[in-house]
Structure 1
Amino acid sequence: MNNEPLAYRMRPQTIDEIAGQQHVIGKDTALYKMIINGHVPSMLLYGDPGVGKTSLAFAIAGTTKLPFVALNATKAGKKDVEEVVADARLTGKVILFLDEIHRFNKLQQDTLLPHVENGSIVLIGATTENPFHDVNPAIRSRCGEIKQLKRLTSEDVDLLLERALEDPVKGLGNIAIDMSIEQRKKIADAANGDARKALTLLESTIFASFEEDGVTKVEDSILDSLVDRVGVFGDKKGSHFYNLLSALQKSVRGSDTDAALYYLAHLLENGDLVAVSRRLLVMSYEDIGLANPSIGPQVLAAIQSAERLGLPEARIPLANAVVLMCLSEKSNSAYSALDTAIASIHQGKTGDIPNHLKDTHYSGAKDLGHGGYIYPHDHKIGTFGGWVNQTYLPNNLIGSKFYNPIEAGEEKRLSAIYNRLEKFKTEK
């Protein structure tokens, strides 16, 4: 049997063999029609590992029959780029596939970009990172197409597995294999949309199974043990990790407990307890806020417990914190008010501090006109404590409103106090 990995051997040869990604390369898309007509634009392919970025680049080259060179930006140097440029002079147009393009350095860029501009080199860059964050603007400006590839569905992956089992040349079709449809679909589900992972798992399963009477029989126990070893998708500091953090916060904000727990599970399986804890603490004040002020200390206690416990036990207090936040009343009024005040300052809306609020703890303060502050604690107002009607904002900002209370949870009570005090200000 071919010593090359199954995932490599099963790489599609033309764009018609691509599984999934119909929004990018389906027969009705402009990109498909351009490639069929022999025109390949420079492009960036952005997506999670295993969704087919490299496969699509190879399939485009196979469809157009153009010369094709694959480099990895983490390893390629200026000499590699110059060789591609030299080949382009000899052969005409060359497709350069550059994996990990977000690591493209300036020297490589300066060598390559003029040739991308004049059309002698077609650049297909692939990245797992958001190109608008991590790819140099000079590269983006020269790539007419920026395509985000989606994770494959279980049905897409199952189709790839079926092809691999039936193909006698590139796949496993020359081996008699006894594998049920249910077993195949278990692999497809376990791969979590990663075609490379699915084909690797299939290959491992076949070679871990026993042959009897010329037939390789797949046992459930073998398959289950391999599926359990399949790593959770995502790296700790890549775009997908930050997308998970974003999805967690937005699910909590939207009070969807099940979705929030799902994203928390993903994040904890990736193992970065510090980043998850930090985001949860921010959420307790940003999204719950004054509606339930007790949540902040509760989440902090959960985080401290998680840090003391470490994973996997850390998941227990953090799960409690997430459920509490999901089902709590919510308000973002406090930090929104502060952001409004900050924006006001940036807009130049500033003024001199009233003299009665300025520091008077030094000789000469009175000579500067500082003083006249009325001590609120000396003026009791019911059970509230002390309050006195005096000016606190600069004169040119009097009447400015930054805080807009939300009638939710504990903030409903705070809102009533705020509105009552605002009314007091207008009373003579």
Structure 2
Amino acid sequence: MPKTTEPLAWRMRPRTIDEIVGQQHIIGPSTPLYKMVKKGHVPSLLLYGEPGTGKTSLAYAIARTAGREWVAINATAAGKKEIEEAVEAARWSGNVVLFIDEIHRLNKAQQDVLLPHLESGLVTLIGATTENPFHEVNPAIRSRCGQIQQLKPLKPDDLMIILKRALADPERGVGEPPVVIDESLLWRIAEAAGGDARVALSLLEAAVAAADERHGRLYIDEDIVASCTANRGFTHDKYGDHYYSLLSAFQKSVRGSDADAALHYLARLLEGGDLASVCRRLLVMAYEDIGLANPMMGVKVQAAVEAAERLGLPEARIPLAVVTIELCLSPKSNSAYKALDAAIADVRSGKLGDIPDHLKDAHYKGAAALGRGQGYLYPHDYPNGWVAQAYLPSALEGVRYYEPKEHGEEKHYAKVYRRLEQLKQEVKVQP
């Protein structure tokens, strides 16, 4: 291996945009950004994505390709002084790309120094963040960046290209002596990296360091790869944008009746130790997505959640797996909460009307003199426990919020609802 203390991932960082692997939607030869950079123009931009997707590498490659000076700072460690120095360098050379990692952490003092120079074009900014910039980055910074680009996790095929480059490069790569590793083992490293190029190269570096040397070659076998990749390939951030995407994908898979997809996302959430969020989301789904089509699912999910909370992980996965599959395969209806949302919209827009007098509270002295409760028909005194009378304010007479669906258990509720509507109409037309 090369005699250097620099990690392999650092040595193999792309030097130009033509060395970038993956992210072709951002920097592929046909993209506007590629064409701009090749002509020496670098716009201010924000890059966001999961760790290891290449945000810093892409920014560095852009600056190098365009022939620009490179100044890098981290918003959590740098202060106002570092930004002032970067601005001063830009003032003298007019050729500086200022790279700010974790840009969502910029404080007000840092922003006050930076913003005027972004506005004037003196400083070209490339900001990087693992958070969604539309949520976490100051709007003033966002508005001054011409592009906001999301980097995606690298595919195993992309990581294989990077790993093979590291094996083949005698200067920046693993160097001498030559490394012998089976293609299937290299693929295992690529898969274990979880889309993170830095992790993939670090795993390869560790495997090379542990390799057996025979006859002037380093041999990496299955045991070495298994040891280096143990407990790799999974990350979970309970507070990041990806976390909310996992919860969203879980619910949408249940709503779409795809049990296999739902179990996949459930596994990822549980492997992150996120039992509380899973339980809350399952309870929401039982009422939001299943609803009147299978009302007993609310009871079943509550029981499963209580069992999971009492059991704790890993046993909690057992009741949660059962109800997840049952939710997926259950008939679906959102009619109940949609009906309430429609009623809430009317209330918020001022469509209220006065409560009919016969429905008003009459449990106090003097209520009768005000007409409160007068003429109220007590449904239990009538056959089948129903009698026609007005319940809605007169201003909302005839309004319908509930639109029943004709499947699952809700078809029975729909039948009763429509029969009641029919009876109301029959009573109205009587002379």
- TM normalised by structure 2 equals 0.96
Question: Pairwise mapping of residues 70-219 of structure 1 onto structure 2 (< 5 A)?
Answer: 70-219=72-221
The structural deviation recorded for 1:368 is: 2.0
> After alignment, is 372-381 or 410-419 more displaced?
372-381
1:401 aligns with 2:393: no
Determine the C-alpha separation between the residues in 2 that align with 1:105 and 1:357: 57
Determine the C-alpha separation between the residues in 1 that align with 2:286 and 2:272: 22
Amino acid at match of 1:221: D
The structural deviation recorded for 1:79 is: 1.4
Determine the C-alpha separation between the residues in 1 that align with 2:381 and 2:109: 70
C-alpha distance 304-246 of structure 1, shift in aligned 2 (>3 A): same
SS of match in other structure, 2:383? coil
Contact 1:41 1:143 in 2 (8 A): yes
Contact 2:23 2:151 in 1 (8 A): yes
Query: Percent identity of the aligned residues?
Result: 60
1:420 aligns with 2:410: no
Determine the C-alpha separation between the residues in 2 that align with 1:67 and 1:237: 35
SS of match in other structure, 1:97? strand
> After alignment, is 336-345 or 409-418 more displaced?
336-345
Contact 1:102 1:136 in 2 (8 A): yes
Amino acid at match of 1:396: A
Determine the C-alpha separation between the residues in 2 that align with 1:364 and 1:222: 89
Pairing partner for 1:319 from 321, 324, 331: 321
The structural deviation recorded for 1:189 is: 1.2
Amino acid at match of 1:300: Q
Instruction: Name stretches of at least 5 consecutive residues in structure 1 with no aligned partner.
Output: none
Question: Pairwise mapping of residues 327-338 of structure 1 onto structure 2 (< 5 A)?
Answer: 327-338=329-340
The structural deviation recorded for 1:285 is: 0.7
Question: Pairwise mapping of residues 289-304 of structure 1 onto structure 2 (< 5 A)?
Answer: 289-304=291-306
Q: Which residue of 2 aligns with 1:286?
A: 288
C-alpha distance 92-123 of structure 1, shift in aligned 2 (>3 A): same
SS of match in other structure, 1:216? strand
1:375 aligns with 2:378: yes
Q: Which residue of 2 aligns with 1:256?
A: 258
Determine the C-alpha separation between the residues in 2 that align with 1:175 and 1:298: 62
Q: Which residue of 1 aligns with 2:58?
A: 56
SS of match in other structure, 1:427? helix
Amino acid at match of 2:311: L
SS of match in other structure, 1:62? helix
Determine the C-alpha separation between the residues in 1 that align with 2:169 and 2:27: 23
Determine the C-alpha separation between the residues in 2 that align with 1:45 and 1:303: 39
Contact 2:194 2:233 in 1 (8 A): no
Contact 1:93 1:119 in 2 (8 A): no
Contact 1:210 1:217 in 2 (8 A): yes
Q: What are the superposed Cα offsets for residues 159-193 of structure 1, whole Å, 9 maximum, x if unpaired?
A: 00000111111110323212011111111111121
Determine the C-alpha separation between the residues in 2 that align with 1:333 and 1:183: 52
> After alignment, is 271-280 or 36-45 more displaced?
271-280
Amino acid at match of 2:350: G
The structural deviation recorded for 1:380 is: 3.0
Contact 2:48 2:133 in 1 (8 A): yes
Determine the C-alpha separation between the residues in 2 that align with 1:22 and 1:397: 56
The structural deviation recorded for 1:98 is: 1.0
Determine the C-alpha separation between the residues in 2 that align with 1:102 and 1:387: 60
Q: Which residue of 2 aligns with 1:270?
A: 272
Contact 1:236 1:271 in 2 (8 A): no
Amino acid at match of 2:281: R
Contact 2:192 2:233 in 1 (8 A): no
Contact 1:74 1:100 in 2 (8 A): yes
The structural deviation recorded for 1:66 is: 1.0
The structural deviation recorded for 1:396 is: 0.1
Determine the C-alpha separation between the residues in 1 that align with 2:233 and 2:317: 18
Contact 1:359 1:370 in 2 (8 A): yes
Give the paired residue count: 424
Determine the C-alpha separation between the residues in 1 that align with 2:94 and 2:299: 66
The structural deviation recorded for 1:222 is: 2.1
SS of match in other structure, 2:185? helix
Determine the C-alpha separation between the residues in 2 that align with 1:175 and 1:325: 56
Contact 2:191 2:233 in 1 (8 A): no
Q: What are the superposed Cα offsets for residues 258-314 of structure 1, whole Å, 9 maximum, x if unpaired?
A: 111111111111111111111111011100111001111111111111111111221
Determine the C-alpha separation between the residues in 2 that align with 1:202 and 1:313: 35
The structural deviation recorded for 1:231 is: 4.9
> After alignment, is 323-332 or 217-226 more displaced?
217-226
Amino acid at match of 1:236: K
Instruction: Name stretches of at least 5 consecutive residues in structure 2 with no aligned partner.
Output: none
SS of match in other structure, 1:349? coil
Query: Considering only aligned residues, what root-mean-square deviation do their CA atoms show, in Å?
Result: 1.2
Q: Which residue of 2 aligns with 1:47?
A: 49
